[in-house]
Each structure stands twice: as C-alpha cells, then as structure tokens.
Amino acid sequence: MTIHNLYIFDRNGTLMYYGEWNRKKAGTMNKEEEGKLVYGMLFSLRSFLEKISPLDLKDNSFCYRTSKYKMNYWESPTGVKFVMNTDLSSPNVKDLLRLIYQMVYVEYVVKNPVCPMGEYIHSELFAQKLDEVVKSSLIYTSKTS
C-alpha cells in the first residue's frame, strides 16, 4: 500500500496545499494548473454524483479508481476538501483524511493566527506535521504489494 500525493482545497477551490510522497511520474504542468484541473474535475464529479446518486451522499466523501490508482475525496462540513491519491489496495483513506483535518489542518492552520485562510499554506510546521501523520499511517507503512 502506498500514498502518492495529497491536495487540499479551501471552500472556494483555491489550492491550499500540495504534498507528494511516492509520485512515480511527475506531472506535466505546474502545481497551480494541476490543482485547478483536479478541482474542476472533482467539482463536476460531485455535482454529477449528487444528481445521479440513488442514495443520499451523507458523509461528503467518494473515490474513483482506475486500474492503477485510487483518488479519494473527503470534504469537511466547512467545505475544506482533501484529495489523496493512493494505490488500489489502500483501505479507509477517508479516516486518514479526517485525521489530517483534525490533527494537522485545524491545529496548525486554523489555530495559527498568522496563517491566512484561503491562501496557499507556507507553514513549515504544517508540512512537517502532515508528513509525520502520513508517514505513520498504516497505508503508508505497510508493504503488501
């Protein structure tokens, strides 16, 4: 199991953070454009799901998978969006995304008065704590494939 990368968007779709761990193929465009592309796709996908879903989408999360990777999406009730690419065998990514929100985003961005909300997060402390949480998660550490 492995974690490839993570995007965090605020409620207006601004890319707030991008982090990568095991991204084996570099993107062909810059971070900002890639962020917009990902957000645009997710936005459309979500409104599509809301319209088409036979069930109530209660927990604001979904994922899509290709034959190679899985993209997991989780949104906080305040509209902060966490998107993580993992490999296909990773379970419960939603819980990890929630944990990142609780333990890292709220603690080191929201409670940090010099961290403006709605802009890219440059805080090193945030990056460091995020890295710790990701690297200590089971999805990152266990080697099954």
Partner 1 sequence: MSRQSTSSRITADSKKVNSELFVLTYGTLVQQLVKDYESVEDVNKQLERIGYNIGLRVIEDFLARTNYPRCTDLRDTAEKIQAAFKMYLNATPSLSNVTADEFSLVFESTPFGEFTELPDACANLKYCNVLPGVIRGACEMVQMDVQAYVIADTLKGDNATEIRVRFIKKLHDALPAGED
Residues that bind partner 1 (CB under 8 A): 11-13, 36, 39-40, 43, 58-60, 76-80, 101-102, 105-106, 110-111, 117
Name which of 54 and 118 has its Cβ closer to partner 1.
118
Name which of 13 and 19 has its Cβ closer to partner 1.
13
φ and ψ at residue 58, rounded to 5 degrees: -85, -45
Those residues with Cβ within 8 angstroms of residue 135's Cβ, 6 or more apart along the chain or in another chain: 21, 141
Name which of 1 and 71 has its Cβ closer to partner 1.
71
In the complex, minimum distance from the CB of residue 55 to partner 1, in angstroms, rounded to a whole number = 15
In the complex, minimum distance from the CB of residue 120 to partner 1, in angstroms, rounded to a whole number = 15
Q: Which helix (H) or strand (E) holds 45?
A: helix 31-52
Nearest partner of 145 among 91, 96, 89, 92, judged by Cα: 89
Could you give the strand order of the β-sheet that contains 69-75, starting from the edge strand earlier in sequence? 15-20, 3-9, 81-87, 69-75, 61-65
Name which of 36 and 70 has its Cβ closer to partner 1.
36
One-letter identity of residue 122 = H
What is the SS3 assignment for 29? coil
In the complex, minimum distance from the CB of residue 87 to partner 1, in angstroms, rounded to a whole number = 27
Q: Please spell the DSSP secondary structure of 79-96, one letter per residue.
A: --EEEEEEETT---HHHH
Name which of 22 and 102 has its Cβ closer to partner 1.
102
In the complex, minimum distance from the CB of residue 121 to partner 1, in angstroms, rounded to a whole number = 14
In the complex, minimum distance from the CB of residue 35 to partner 1, in angstroms, rounded to a whole number = 10
